[in-house]
Chain A
Amino acid sequence: MNQLEVKDKDVNVGAVLRNGEDYEADYTIINLGPTHPATHGVFQNILTMDGEIVIDSEQTVGYIHRAFEKIAERRPYYQITPLTDRMNYCSSPINNMGWHMTVEKLIGVEIPKRAQYMRVIIMELARITDHLVCNAVIGVDAGALTGFTYMFQWREKIYDIYEQICGARLTTNIGRIGGMERDFNNEVYRLIELFLKEFPKGFQEFGNLLERNRIFYDRTVGSGPITGERALNYGFTGPNLRAAGVDYDVRVMNPYSSYQDFEFDIPVGLNGDTYDRFMVRQHEIWESLKIIRQALDNMPEGKHFADVPEFYLPPKQDVYNNMEALIWHFKIIMGETDVPKGEIYHAVEGGNGELGFYLVSDGGRAPYKLHFRRPCFIFYQAFPEMIKGGMLSDAILTLSSLNVIAGELDA
């Protein structure tokens, strides 16, 4: 909040210049990253420093670029799901679902309500893990390691739920084009109920540790601020945009997967600083819990997949005993199903904001062009503007509160 005053004091008064009158020759250039314990991911920042004050910075990205868009141009649609896992690996299921929904929109399939509710539950669990990691790491960077160790246990519990649903924990490949791969079993319901019962207590404790903590307050309030207008101009989305006071949420604006059925609030911040970003994520976790509760209570009966045999794999038992199922199985696996030509953009609310898929299909087995709109890549370019004039330690906190995930940054 008082950064400008701090800067004026340090810049104008009492500096002893080592290089005569040329003030700028006294700046120090330091290299933060590409691998640095404080950056939580592989990206480099070259900072021009005046003592502890950041004057300018330049980012280098692309250290883990894996050319997903090129690879996708040679893969059948269902094989692209594992690629999306590896973008924002803190909330892979949201990426997976976003991709499934894009393809479903392209081929014009409406999936049953039950599958939509199952997807909502999984996506909201993923949002909780994403926000938990981010907020716990903000705590670590502000010097509070305790919350982090506790919150990561809860993340593991959510991963146990994923494991029951799809067999994987981190890179999930969850769901299928046309529905879910299998119905939730009893263990899934048991684990989710257990989570909903016990997590709020632990999470409340974590909140008590930081939300009104004097030291945390002093570190985060006013650090790395951005106005709503600048944030919009920089293409911010998700919690980072909402922390700056703009209430844009894809789940409400363009509801997908039955989000219109649920009652939930969109928390909005005021100053767009690190504290607001932290608080918006804290509140979103509570809202996610509300959504999961509603989805469980109102879970519709019915099938968990749509009737699209040309995209949705038949049960294994049928493949062995039924000629038609065998043919469909073969065609899907070999990527020989016909896809309509078309051009489509579909967006979901990812952990960090609007995760968009721009897909051009020429009717072939693989997309003609696929572009991922990765929220991290777009808002990370505002980082120099946000940390300018602040302290180096504020820059570290700003970076972690933006929740820049290297996998999503580079795709």
Chain B
Amino acid sequence: MGLITNEFLLERIKQEFGDAIRVADFPYGMLTLVIEPSRIVDILRWLHEDSILKMRFLTDICGSHYPDLIDHELCVVYHVHSLENNLRLRIKAFIPVTNPEIPSATAVYSSANWMERETYDFYGVIFTGHPNLKRILNVDEMDYFPLRKEYPLEDATRTDKEDHYFGR
């Protein structure tokens, strides 16, 4: 347990998917890769089946919205975990908000089903190949994606809660 280091993990992924990796970083001790969105399922499947890494556990999928990054505003964040090596890996894929499509990981991980539905529900990310991509936590009639940054949280008509009074 714990014999594999982040550096080894990065080297091993680079050998296989060197062309798909755009950025690699280690914020707070977790290897974080920014990858080519179209390759995500290949990478996840390879990580799942690789005989050394054995990243069999999908911890989490969630979205994130960066309106300032033109043409790759939406980010889908995957956390995978190798229970045998006790090593976590974060993979991020940036996609444009105008065409928010990314392949679905449901074929590799059953748990991806609802996580992807949740990400779709809040950020409008279309997971191609998902068996049942519909809203999960919000009402079906909703016609926007509420966690995107253009939707402010508080009621815009209120005048007693101006941002500068609260240092924001």
Which residue numbers of A lie inside 8 Å of B, CB to CB?
61-62, 65, 67, 69-71, 73-74, 105-106, 230, 232-235, 246, 248, 253-254, 334-336, 342-345, 347, 354, 356, 358, 360, 364-366, 368-369, 371, 373, 377-382, 410-411
Assess whether A356 is in contact with B60, with CB atoms less than 8 Å apart: yes
Residues on A with C-beta less than 8 A from B64 are 360, 368-369
Q: What separation, in Å, do the CA atoms of A343 and B23 have in the docked complex?
A: 15
Interface residue from B59, B115, B153 paired with A354 (Cβ < 8 Å) = B59
Interface residue from A232, A343, A368, A379 paired with B56 (Cβ < 8 Å) = A232
Kindly specify which of B9-17, B39-47, B95-103, B105-113 makes contact with the partner chain. B105-113
Assess whether B59 is in contact with A234, with CB atoms less than 8 Å apart: no
Assess whether A378 is in contact with B114, with CB atoms less than 8 Å apart: yes
Q: What separation, in Å, do the CA atoms of A381 and B132 have in the docked complex?
A: 12
Q: Give chain B nearest CB distance to A66 CB in angstroms.
A: 10
B125 proximal to A (CB < 8 A): no
Assess whether A373 is in contact with B146, with CB atoms less than 8 Å apart: no
Residues on A with C-beta less than 8 A from B122 are 69
* Interface residue ranges of B105-151 to A (CB < 8 Å): 109-111, 113-115, 118, 122, 136-139, 146-147
Assess whether A248 is in contact with B83, with CB atoms less than 8 Å apart: yes
Residues 4-31 of B, flagged 1 when their CB comes within 8 A of A and 0 if not, give: 0000000000000000000000011010
B32 proximal to A (CB < 8 A): yes
**Given A61-B136, A62-B136, A377-B114, A371 and B168 touching (CB < 8 A)?**
no
A and B contact pairs by CB, cutoff 8 A, 22 listed:
A61-B136, A69-B147, A70-B146, A70-B153, A74-B153, A232-B57, A235-B59, A235-B110, A248-B57, A254-B86, A334-B166, A335-B168, A345-B60, A345-B88, A354-B59, A356-B59, A360-B64, A371-B60, A371-B62, A373-B60, A381-B113, A411-B137
Residues on B with C-beta less than 8 A from A378 are 111, 114-115
Assess whether A358 is in contact with B62, with CB atoms less than 8 Å apart: yes
Q: Give chain B nearest CB distance to A339 CB in angstroms.
A: 13
Interface size band for B: 35 or more
Q: What separation, in Å, do the CA atoms of A380 and B153 have in the docked complex?
A: 29
B79 proximal to A (CB < 8 A): yes
Q: Which residue of A lies closest to B58 (CB)?
A: A235
Residues on A with C-beta less than 8 A from B147 are 69-70
Q: What separation, in Å, do the CA atoms of A310 and B13 have in the docked complex?
A: 41
Residues on B with C-beta less than 8 A from A379 are 111
**Given A61-B136, A366-B168, A381-B110, A345 and B153 touching (CB < 8 A)?**
no
Residues on A with C-beta less than 8 A from B167 are 334-336, 365
Q: What separation, in Å, do the CA atoms of A335 and B111 have in the docked complex?
A: 37
Residues on A with C-beta less than 8 A from B115 are 235, 378
Q: Which residue of B lies closest to A364 (CB)?
A: B168
Q: Which residue of B lies closest to A247 (CB)?
A: B83
**Given A61-B136, A343-B28, A345-B79, A73 and B111 touching (CB < 8 A)?**
no
Max chain A Cβ within 10 angstroms of own Cβ: one of B30, B60, B64, B167: B60
Q: Give chain A nearest CB distance to B167 CB in angstroms.
A: 5
Residues on B with C-beta less than 8 A from A344 are 27-28
Max chain B Cβ within 10 angstroms of own Cβ: one of A65, A335, A358, A378: A378
Q: Give chain B nearest CB distance to A21 CB in angstroms.
A: 30
Assess whether B136 is in contact with A234, with CB atoms less than 8 Å apart: no
